[in-house]
Amino acid sequence: MKKFYDKLMQTRHYLHQHPELSGQEFETTAFLKGYLENLEIRILESGLKTGLVAEVGSGKPIIALRADIDALPILEQTGLPYASQNAGVMHACGHDFHQTSLLGAAELLKAMEGDLRGTVRLIFQPAEETSQGASQVLATGLLDDVSAIIGFHNMPQLKAGQLVLKAGAMMAGVEKFKVEVEGVSSHAARPDLGVDTVLTLTSMIQNLQALVARTVSPFEAAVLSVTHIEAGATWNVLPQSGFFEGTIRSFNPTLQQRLKEDFIRIVENTAENFGAQVRISWDHTPPVTYNDPELAELLYEHSRNLAEVLPANPSSAGEDFAFYQEKLPGVFAFIGSNGAENAPDLHHDSMVIDDEAFKVSVPYYVESALFLLQHYRQKV
């Protein structure tokens, strides 16, 4: 297998050198298409502008394997001989590793295609970093007949050879909010003639701080952070308008929805108290990445044959794999990709992947697919 893993290493290094931003993965898609066609793997008509869907095998059940392919607007500082050649763009989240892992799994599954009893659908998904890609794939209808979906994310804090998996929440649900306030401008010396936008904004922010601290159980995990505020342009004028934005995150889908509803109530009531107008907007962001309890327990035990399997602490980052899990059973794992002391984290300009991690990531895809094909055949 050394030749096989050396090939994957070279493939990842090439992809690392040629990163593309979300929705712009045209050359990446062309490379993936050519790679799969050389393996004589069927590529399905999807209508996707970037990314692609392919499959190995035939008939039901159908198990999907997903990898994301986009990069980040980060100037790479690793000093690697295969560092990004696209200035200001970097695979700082390891999606080069993810997609190469799926290419390796595709090759191994193709070699055993004659013995497959069912279909493995390969999802090379664009635009994960902007939380748009999973929804685009779902809109193709190519997951409508899929029984379950498998994915993973590399984790630099874990060593190559380690895998983390659990039932339930693996990554946080994410809400990104923007609150725009419209007051009435006036001279700073006569605030009584206006509606104070600054006071309204800061009162809203102050009131929101009690939302997690005083309404969420201490046995739950949640965070509300205001990260950006703007209002006014000079010292002696009350501004007419301003805004703040930030995020809400939790690991409980019911709690996440309740926090959003309470957020809206607090903001609107505060605006009414001051006589200001308010508009709240929410970005398209992922819900809780929530592993199907039955499948996660099964794959946790099954994966012990592949890696050192560790219990998971969920990540407070978000993942658009969660959109798939809203529609069908899914399992998402973390796979060790570095493990060195003080290893740079995801989205860091010096993040480095240990290619030894392929020896877990590729078997994780393949063995999970084979196991679930058998699992769903037995349920029919």
Q: Which residues are annotated as a binding site?
A: 93, 95, 129, 153, 347
Triad 265, 288, 348: Cα angle to 5°: 105
Q: What's 181's DSSP letter?
A: E
| CA 306 vs CA 43, 314, 336: distances in Å | 29, 21, 13
| Rounded (to 5) percent helix, strand, coil in the chain | 40, 30, 35
For residue 379, what are its two tokens? 């349920």
| CA 245 vs CA 150, 175, 213: distances in Å | 33, 11, 19
For residue 150, what are its two tokens? 């498998």
Q: What is the dihedral of CA 153, 156, 162, 166, to 10 degrees?
A: -50
| CA 238 vs CA 194, 230, 264, 271, 274: distances in Å | 8, 13, 25, 16, 14
Number of Cβ within a 10 Å radius of residue 171: 26
Binding site for Mn(2+), by residue number, is 93, 95, 129, 153, 347
For residue 325, what are its two tokens? 């899990």
Rounded distance, CA 158 to CA 97, Å?
15
Burial class from Cβ neighbours inside 10 Å (0-12, 13-18, 19+) for residue 90 reads buried
